[in-house]
Structure 1
Amino acid sequence: MTNLGPITLESGFPSIARPTGHTTPADLTNLGPAARSAIQELLDTTGAVSFRGFGIRTVDEFEAAAQSLLGRLAPYKGGDAPRRAEKGLIYNAAGPDKSRLLRAHNELSYAPWHPTTLCFGCARPADQGGATTLIDGHRVYSSLPHDIQDAFRTRGVTYIQHLPHTPTDPASGIKSWPETFETDVKDEVMRHCQANYTTATWTPLGLLTTHRTPATLDIGPAPRTTWFNQAHIWQDPTTTPDPTDMRLWQTRLGYGAIYGDGTPILATHLDTISATLEQCTIPVYWNSGDLLLVDNRAVMHGRTPYTGDRQVYVAFA
């Protein structure tokens, strides 16, 4: 345990930061250089830091704390989750259907850009459930069979999305392209996609894009390979038995994933990945006023089902 005046830091997964005495929300935004450096070092080392007892409850308090800890905040442009902005670049992190498990993922790992750090804050915990789950990406990669490691590391993943022109039933989990790219100006969206995605095409149904990305990353001063993809979420063999057939994608909306070389990802590999992610999952239970910093490159996150009016914010940088 490290004592840094206003806070104490304890290593672990996640690491824990606590105030040393009476504190106000403003105290977390006014940390000195030594405390900030120690927090960053702990985040770089362990991948996640949980701040407990700092009393960050309102969206204004969370915005100030997130800006202080993260610096310049980023928009959720290009994301597939149905997020609602609470204020500026502070989003609601409730996720879709609260009765369902939100599976492990790295934020925007499927997109041309991804945040390096996430900041979550809890204004009100769920009545039951609602833990944010953390999954160490290096532990996941190390736990997978060598053939799966090699396939994803050498081939990468190509993500496919066919987004409709207008919003669909929220239960479908498919966002429209204006919702996804936060504008309904087609020329603006196409310029963005042509500059950043592997392919982008207008269809009678909507916007069809593909994007090839690495599926693992080597991170840290002494680089370690970490799992960095969500192919297990985007590719469902029961609904897209042949996701490599781009002619069929012209006629169906939704999301899919294949290897970066254009070959299908084996259903047995996806099953093994899902089981490994479950084995590596650590739940973080919320109290009102808690914060959580997550290195998005090193650590995946998710959410358990819940009941009640859970209010958790998230910011990206």
Structure 2
Amino acid sequence: MTQTTTAWAPKLVGPAEAGVEANPAGLAEYLRGTDLDDLLVREKAVVFRGFAVTPDSYDGLADLLLPQRLAYVHGNSPRTKVGRNLYTSTEYPAEYEISMHNEMSYASSWPSRILFHCAIAAGTGGATPVVDGRLWLESLDAEVREAFAGGVRYTQNLHDGVGFGKSWQATFETDDRAAVEEFLAGTGADHRWRADGSLWVSLLRPATLAHPVTGTEVWFNQADQFHPAGLGEDAAALAMVIPEDELPQHAVFADGSPIPDAYVRHVQETGMRLAVDVDWRVGDLLFVDNVAVAHGRRSYTGQRRILVAMSG
């Protein structure tokens, strides 16, 4: 792991420390004898390395680490489902970094745990940076923290199969409008279907969150990933020609006022600066408390295949 300015880093657990054989069965033995709730609350993120975990042996280990595996319903990033609620990590082009974020912090509910698995390590780069959400929050300028105190309003324009961004079918993993309506009814989101078959969704969420066990307040939102200023030159150019209410996704403050570009850049740069890089080796597992810790992705070259599953 490559560490930057913070003293926190994920705990590294190998066969020697665990006192078990260097194979998936050995890791399973260690997990069955460990209080995983206590481990994750204490360490916030754990790397299991040296157990030769393969995609075939991942499922059994995931069942021990993730008590209730979730589907990626209402997820906004492009992924491919490859198994039982098992997905590829975000499929953005390799040359782009993905900024720090807590999975689905824009949604009405989110996974409490995430389990990544390295099936193929990148030729160069491709680390998964992780950052302590408490440190991220405390490191932001007071002006920015105060501005976000009221929360964030997220908007999604989900097309009907052709258009920019994700379709509503891919987002909700169904082509049944009634199922989408039922899901959204429980979220508190405003939504409406448009004449062209697309779906508009708007949801107000807090910008910070208290950890459910420790009570620690953390930065917990994805305003920067919904805002054109946080999505690179292409998104900024798109926002110049498409009205705000027609963008695939957008974020404003709770009162509807715009989030300044400078705030978005400050949030992103602070998170990436404080992050600790998990430099992948084939067979690694990365177990993350999705409230305590945010994650991202460094750019890379070559092939890279990271699989991910989540639980409530």
SS at 2:14 equivalent? strand
Residue 128 of structure 2: aligned partner: 132
Residue 259 of structure 2: aligned partner: 265
Aligned equivalents of 1:259, 1:132: Cα separation in 2: 29
Aligned equivalents of 1:106, 1:61: Cα separation in 2: 26
C-alpha change, 1:199 and 1:221, in structure 2 (3 Å) is: closer
Aligned equivalents of 1:220, 1:193: Cα separation in 2: 24
Count residues in correspondence. Answer: 294
Q: Which amino acid aligns with 2:281?
A: N
Residue 203 of structure 2: aligned partner: 211
Residue 4 of structure 1: aligned partner: none
1:277 to 271, 286, 297: 271
Shift of 1:143: 0.5
SS at 2:13 equivalent? strand
Residues 1:300 and 2:300 are matched in the alignment: no
Deviation per CA, 1:245-282: give whole Å up to 9, x if none: xxx555x2410001122222122211211221121121
Question: TM-score if structure 1 supplies the norm length?
Answer: 0.86
Within 5 Å, which residues of 2 pair with 1:30-179? 30-31=29-30, 35-37=33-35, 39-58=36-55, 60-93=56-89, 95-152=91-148, 154-168=149-163, 172=164, 174-179=165-170
Deviation per CA, 1:169-194: give whole Å up to 9, x if none: xxx5x110001001111222123223
Which consecutive unaligned segments of at least 5 residues does structure 2 have?
1-6, 230-235
SS at 1:71 equivalent? coil
Deviation per CA, 1:201-238: give whole Å up to 9, x if none: 11134100001111101126542211001111111154
SS at 1:204 equivalent? coil
Aligned equivalents of 1:167, 1:203: Cα separation in 2: 14
Aligned equivalents of 1:212, 1:240: Cα separation in 2: 21
Q: Is the 8 A contact 2:190 2:203 kept in 1?
A: yes
Question: TM-score if structure 2 supplies the norm length?
Answer: 0.88
Residue 309 of structure 2: aligned partner: 315
C-alpha RMSD of matched pairs (Å): 2.2
Aligned equivalents of 1:276, 1:32: Cα separation in 2: 34
Shift of 1:240: 4.2
Residue 231 of structure 1: aligned partner: 223
Residue 284 of structure 2: aligned partner: 290
Shift of 1:22: 3.2
Aligned equivalents of 2:23, 2:275: Cα separation in 1: 32
Q: Is the 8 A contact 2:15 2:26 kept in 1?
A: no
Bigger relative contact order, structure 1 or 2 (CA pairs below 8 A, ≥6 apart): 2
Aligned equivalents of 1:184, 1:222: Cα separation in 2: 40
Shift of 1:42: 3.3
Q: Is the 8 A contact 1:15 1:42 kept in 2?
A: no
Q: Is the 8 A contact 2:77 2:90 kept in 1?
A: no
